[in-house]
Amino acid sequence: MVSTKELVNIELEVKAIEKGNLACPGCQLNLSFKHALSALKGDAIVVVPACCTSVIQGAGQGYGMHVPIFNTAFASAPPVASGIARKLKRDGKKTTVVVWAGDGGTADIGFGSMSGAAERDENILYVMYDNQGYQNTGNQKSGATPRGAKTSTTPHGKKSRRKDIARMMMAQEVSYVATANASYPQDLFAKIERAATEFAGHFRFIQIYSPCPPGWNIDTKDSVLVGELANNTGYWPLYEAVNGKLEFSRPSRRFNDPAKRKPLADYLKIQGRFRNIDPEIVKQMEEDIEHEWSILRKFM
């Protein structure tokens, strides 16, 4: 794992994002992008379907991110990336092709084309940043919205469970699947670096938990705290699965024991989207956490 000092030096050198871009204050997606592109040393072509990133990357004649970006329509990001990757292979170049898509573009609209790219084992690093809703268009419910969250289309809280895309990708026998969290930058950095070097030539999938202050109704300064609580309550387990063999990452490992987890109420009370939530749903959410870990343990 990279040290703090090295991380700072690489980030100041690569400068993946620019100051004064169009991201909302406290945006963790912007931060994840900075860490991810620093891990790739800026040597990447990023394909972005319609999502928050397509706003942040530039407006008019300016640009907000310091890498080549290809903006495309919702469901066509994996096919576009496949084409770019095949051309780079013909030219003998080692540049990583990254699809940087939101949870709506991955879990709902782009799922078919992503699954197809995974089946063909294209040379793509697929990064899904999970802000748990269509935050760009005004916080509508997506497939990755968790149970209980209020959105503009589920004003009384979502009743059903979220789709677990990382596990779906494991079911498709993708060679490298990982979950990451924007509040643990060194862990995120190590996973992107590992995916880009060790598993080059294959389809790789990384899902990043990135809190969204306006959509989740949290104070901008709490967005790092929310990520830490998601890890410490066991709500967002961090793991890497290499060819179906799963290993929990260091920040998450001790929460395999339910007694060491913090109470879920700590995580829920600082987020406005879970305000006045039905106690019955809270109970179901607590059961969901243990259910999730019990499934993941079977792959160890």
Partner 1 sequence: MPGVAGRTSEWRTQRPDLHTETCTKCMKCVIHCPDDCITVTEDGYPEIDQYYCKGCMICMAVCPHDSIDEVITLPGGDIDA
* Nearest distance in Å: CB 130, partner 1: 16
Output 7 or 242, the one with its CB closest to partner 1: 7
Output 23 or 99, the one with its CB closest to partner 1: 23
Output 59 or 300, the one with its CB closest to partner 1: 59
Give all strands (DSSP E) within 49-121, no chain letters: 69-71, 96-102
36: left (phi over 0), alpha (psi -120 to 50) or beta: alpha
SS (H, E, C) 182-249: CCCHHHHHHHHHHHHHCCCCCCEEEEEECCCHHHHCCCHHHHHHHHHHHHHCCCCCCEEEECCEEEEC
Three-state DSSP class for residue 145: coil
Chain residues binding partner 1 by CB under 8 A are 4-5, 7-8, 11-12, 15-23, 25-28, 30-31, 34, 58-60, 62-64, 185, 213, 220-225
Measured CA to CA in angstroms, residue 212 lies from 52, 139, 227, 275 at distances of 11, 10, 10, 16
* Nearest distance in Å: CB 1, partner 1: 13
* Nearest distance in Å: CB 96, partner 1: 21
Output 58 or 83, the one with its CB closest to partner 1: 58
Output 38 or 82, the one with its CB closest to partner 1: 38
Amino acid at 260: K
* Nearest distance in Å: CB 193, partner 1: 16
* Nearest distance in Å: CB 66, partner 1: 9
